Structure 1
Amino acid sequence: MLLRLATGIGILALTATTALAAAIEGPLQVIVSRDQQTLKVYDGDRMVASTSISSGMPGFTTPTGIFSILEKKPMHYSNIYDEAPMPFMQRLTWSGIALHASDHVPDYPASHGCVRIPGKFARELFRMTRLGGHVLVAGREVEPRPIEHPALALLSSAHHSSDTALLSGVTLRTAIPETSTDAVPIAIDEPTTTESIARTPPAEPVRILMTRRTGSDTLKDVQEMLNGLGYDAGVPDGKHGALTIAAIRAFQAAEGLAVEGTFTPILAEAVFRKAGRDLPPNGKLFVRRNFDPILEGNITIIEPQLELGTHFLLARGVDGGDVDWLGVTMDNDLPYGVRGSLGIKDPGIIEVSTAEDPIVSALDRVAIPAELRQQIAALVGVGASITISDAGYEAETGRGTDFITLTNANGFRSPFAPSTTPRRKESSVLTIE
């Protein structure tokens, strides 16, 4: 029988790990509410565990958004705060945001950015989760709900996975991780080591991001076309570096344009025209698996002047091998400048209380080409996830992460600024708690 735990103050009683594992179907979702200072674990749309937490204090506010568990260590010590112990640490970003146990969990924000959890609950949560499991941090309290849409049926019609375990821009600090992506801890009874326990990572479900095309996406295309036209722009990486600047200047000189070396929409249009290509659609779809990109393609966002919102969907297995989808609508605090850069003039439907579900509304406005849809359908199974976002992913998304999508105003960068996505380094001092 599935655990049914009532919400209460502090930690809720949990049964033994073996009984808990037998009761839960999965995949699970962990949802943190900053306003309520709570953490809840959902199995489908049913809450199976809950506890009070303490998030980041003013000046160190825990970012809100969609994260995945990047690393698990039964014992970690803070690198910058007097080697403070952080038992049952589950990392959400390589820049230092994590879930961990603490003996000081007041009912108000008190940490340096991490999410503090009472010790007993942190231990059980560590047992329940796995690398890649999704953690949503919301400003308000949100919960998953069943979502039905023809597009979801098409995307999950070709392949079903049997894996039912927990699966999976405040500007974040510089990303400096500690260990390699091959370190995958397993649950143990006591925190007996400070090292991650390594094993061969299993095949993970895919993570899909649907978002608006950014300047970085277009710059990659421009770099590729400049290379094809005989101007050495270097590796197409969406970054406005020295080679790209030189290539743009050479192209502008050859075409009789003002030689500025600057990437602009006018420059992009000129390069596309010279290459005999049409300007691309206004949306992008990205797919990652095992923390690495495996597929991307163009999509079209219908009525782009309307806000899509930020939404998260998780695929769940049901009887007969079918897949059901559970969805969560997050806040979508787009700053005025970002809204203008994206061409958004109307906030659209973003409240769950409206007549039409905001996730259904967003899916209605995303057109995926048939060939791309078929490629995705071959990859989607139980535990797959879809993020829909106006502002794309946070710049820390890179090697060793899933998509990191932030929903608080301070975390958004200009969508037309070339990406400066940091890459995971192999060793250095980690900024955490």
Structure 2
Amino acid sequence: MHNFISRIVVRGSVAALLALTAVGGSHTSSAQGTDGEGAGTLGLSGPAVMAIVSIVDQRIAVYDAHGGVTQARVSSGRTEYETPVGVYSVLQKNRDHVSNLYEDARMPFMQRMTWSGVALHGGALPGYPASAGCVRLPNKFASEIFELTKLGTRIIVARRDVAPVAFSHSALPKPQLAAAEAVLTRTTFDPLADEQGKGSVFEPDLSNWPERQATLDSLRTVADEKAATAKAAAAPVEELKTTVKTRAAAVKKATGTKRTAERAKSRAEGRVTQAERRLAAAKQPATIKSREDALAKAQAGLDEAEAKLAEANAEVEAAEKAHAAAEQELAAAEAVFAEADAAAKEARRKTLPISVFVSLKEQRVYVRQGHEAVTDAPVTISNPETPIGTHVFTAVDFTPGGDDMRWTAVSIGPHVPGQDGYGKKAEPTPTDAVYAGAALDRIALPDDVSARISAALWPGSSIIVSDEEQSKETGESTDFVVLISGEPQGGI
């Protein structure tokens, strides 16, 4: 077992805290708009790394990788439709979303948090929780942060407002990025294939780290080549689908002709039978002769019907054989495409941030990348009978030199009854780095899992540690969704 977390080291804690909390600083702005429409000047100098929603304070704070933050008022879920406290990410973006649950309600600048219907979006802000589970934002603010978030941007919903702090630890994973063949394998989701064609996936900005940029470029080149191979493999699949459809129609047509021939033969057999009975009943030579002629004519008709049926049978057999051959060709082409497509998606995912979830309740560690499961394994957590809390550690950028990561920590505190009082103006409380580090001290990961994490550790990667298990909302095409027990979960 590899000692994943050993001892906490908080470097320059006061300066780091000020740089990353929502209090003061040249990058900080307040977007409190009195009517819920104004958003103020954004204090972000780059893409959003995370957003933290406070239920009690009815406020959202959006952070970038450099300590920049901007805030706005929100309206979260009302009683029985509460926005659940927990950890989410942006799963989908749509500028002009219309709800299919709530009478076609408009949800402009929608950023989906769960597939069951919880999202950030523009809307009315009465000053208290009023939504059906979503987090409403001032419309102008919603439009501005829509441009700064990506698929995969972390969203944390907390009871009270909490701010991330700079965080370092001697055993946090260090990047060991391979040039073209990263360790991670297996998954089926293409993170770029957003269902609505809206939004792009979170990708690290490595402009300050030329060596890391070269590594990422190498991976992207491989991904582009494999994507081109998959695209080329898709063309014959589409052509063969058309061929299969055409040949299926030919089988249907030939089968119809055969059925017509079968009915014609049946009628001809009936005429022969009737002619035979009439001939058998004839007594006079002239009648016999007449009915022999009728029988011969009926038999000729039967012979012709049988010939046409034989021809129809041959046509059906040929059509079915051609159809089966086309289906076999299609199956072979689809197999080639599936292999090429899987390789392309896997190569693409290697360029994306990784997510790790350590669950005290399940005593397991889970790894996801590109919104799909990669691996999971048992994990050793000391004193498992003692709660560990819920903490999110985010790799926001490389350190100078590009050989390590700069991390932040956010801890979601427990619900303290009697401290609700919606709309408080209190500043966010900085995360207690010692408390977060104490949780990490108890965890040890298997060596192979640690190696997988280090091999895919781009900026934007995160490690979630929690008492909780994965929510049922964690599934295909999601990052981890972790809901805090003891909190209302009406929105789910």
Q: Which residue of 2 aligns with 1:288?
A: 368
Letter in 1 for 2:175: S
Does the CA contact (< 8 Å) of 1:53 and 1:115 recur in 2? Answer: yes
Change (3 A) 1:313 1:409: same
2:89 corresponds to 1:68 = yes
2:468 corresponds to 1:320 = no
2:434 corresponds to 1:357 = yes
- The CA distance in 2 between the partners of 1:409 and 1:181, in whole Å, is 34
Change (3 A) 1:79 1:183: closer
Does the CA contact (< 8 Å) of 1:132 and 1:402 recur in 2? Answer: yes
Deviations 1:47-84 (A, max 9, x none): 42111111111111111110011110111112232211
Does the CA contact (< 8 Å) of 2:162 and 2:430 recur in 1? Answer: no
2:291 corresponds to 1:210 = no
Q: Which residue of 2 aligns with 1:420?
A: none
Larger Cα-atom Rg: 2
Does the CA contact (< 8 Å) of 1:329 and 1:359 recur in 2? Answer: yes
Does the CA contact (< 8 Å) of 1:45 and 1:144 recur in 2? Answer: no
2:53 to 24, 32, 56: 32
* Map 1:248-267 → 2, pairs under 5 A: none
Change (3 A) 1:13 1:212: same
2:448 to 338, 346, 371: 371
- The CA distance in 2 between the partners of 1:353 and 1:74, in whole Å, is 33
2:185 corresponds to 1:185 = no
Q: Which residue of 1 aligns with 2:170?
A: 150
- The CA distance in 2 between the partners of 1:108 and 1:45, in whole Å, is 31
Q: Which residue of 1 aligns with 2:147?
A: 127
- The CA distance in 1 between the partners of 2:26 and 2:378, in whole Å, is 42
Q: Which residue of 1 aligns with 2:41?
A: 14
What residue ranges of structure 1 are gaps of 5+ in the alignment?
162-179, 188-199, 215-282, 335-350, 413-430
Does the CA contact (< 8 Å) of 1:78 and 1:432 recur in 2? Answer: no
Change (3 A) 1:79 1:302: same
CA shift, 1:207, in A, is 0.6
Change (3 A) 1:386 1:411: farther
* Map 1:321-400 → 2, pairs under 5 A: 321=402, 322-332=404-414, 357-400=434-477
CA shift, 1:156, in A, is 2.0
1:48 to 36, 60, 69: 69
Change (3 A) 1:398 1:141: same
Identical pairs, percent: 33
- The CA distance in 2 between the partners of 1:333 and 1:391, in whole Å, is 15
- The CA distance in 2 between the partners of 1:367 and 1:150, in whole Å, is 13
2:100 corresponds to 1:79 = yes
Does the CA contact (< 8 Å) of 1:300 and 1:367 recur in 2? Answer: yes
SS at match of 1:62: coil
Deviations 1:118-138 (A, max 9, x none): 111100011111111111111
Q: Which residue of 2 aligns with 1:167?
A: none
- The CA distance in 1 between the partners of 2:368 and 2:431, in whole Å, is 32
- The CA distance in 2 between the partners of 1:37 and 1:213, in whole Å, is 30
Change (3 A) 1:45 1:33: farther
Letter in 2 for 1:320: G
Does the CA contact (< 8 Å) of 2:158 and 2:413 recur in 1? Answer: yes
Q: Which residue of 2 aligns with 1:338?
A: none
- The CA distance in 2 between the partners of 1:29 and 1:40, in whole Å, is 8
Question: So what's the TM-score if we normalise by structure 1?
Answer: 0.61
Q: Which residue of 2 aligns with 1:278?
A: none
- The CA distance in 1 between the partners of 2:157 and 2:140, in whole Å, is 21
Deviations 1:249-287 (A, max 9, x none): xxxxxxxxxxxxxxxxxxxxxxxxxxxxxxxxxx21110
CA shift, 1:295, in A, is 1.5
Q: Which residue of 2 aligns with 1:237?
A: none
CA shift, 1:108, in A, is 0.8
Letter in 1 for 2:455: A
Does the CA contact (< 8 Å) of 1:35 and 1:139 recur in 2? Answer: yes
What residue ranges of structure 2 are gaps of 5+ in the alignment?
1-24, 180-192, 201-344, 417-428
Does the CA contact (< 8 Å) of 1:147 and 1:326 recur in 2? Answer: yes
Structure with bigger helix share is: 2
2:377 to 283, 297, 302: 297
Change (3 A) 1:7 1:100: same
SS at match of 1:151: coil
1:57 to 57, 78, 82: 78
CA shift, 1:410, in A, is 5.0
Does the CA contact (< 8 Å) of 1:394 and 1:411 recur in 2? Answer: no
SS at match of 1:72: strand
Change (3 A) 1:370 1:323: same
Deviations 1:167-217 (A, max 9, x none): xxxxxxxxxxxxx75555138xxxxxxxxxxxx987421110011353xxx
- The CA distance in 1 between the partners of 2:447 and 2:120, in whole Å, is 40
CA shift, 1:4, in A, is 2.4
CA shift, 1:305, in A, is 2.0
Does the CA contact (< 8 Å) of 2:48 and 2:149 recur in 1? Answer: no
SS at match of 2:407: strand
2:487 corresponds to 1:407 = no
CA shift, 1:333, in A, is 5.8
Letter in 2 for 1:329: S
Question: So what's the TM-score if we normalise by structure 2?
Answer: 0.54
How many residues of Structure 1 are paired with residues of Structure 2 in the alignment?
A: 291
Letter in 1 for 2:170: P
Does the CA contact (< 8 Å) of 2:52 and 2:158 recur in 1? Answer: yes
CA shift, 1:14, in A, is 2.6
Does the CA contact (< 8 Å) of 1:45 and 1:146 recur in 2? Answer: no
Does the CA contact (< 8 Å) of 1:44 and 1:144 recur in 2? Answer: no
CA shift, 1:100, in A, is 0.5
Q: Which residue of 1 aligns with 2:4?
A: none
SS at match of 2:449: helix
Letter in 2 for 1:115: V
Letter in 1 for 2:467: D
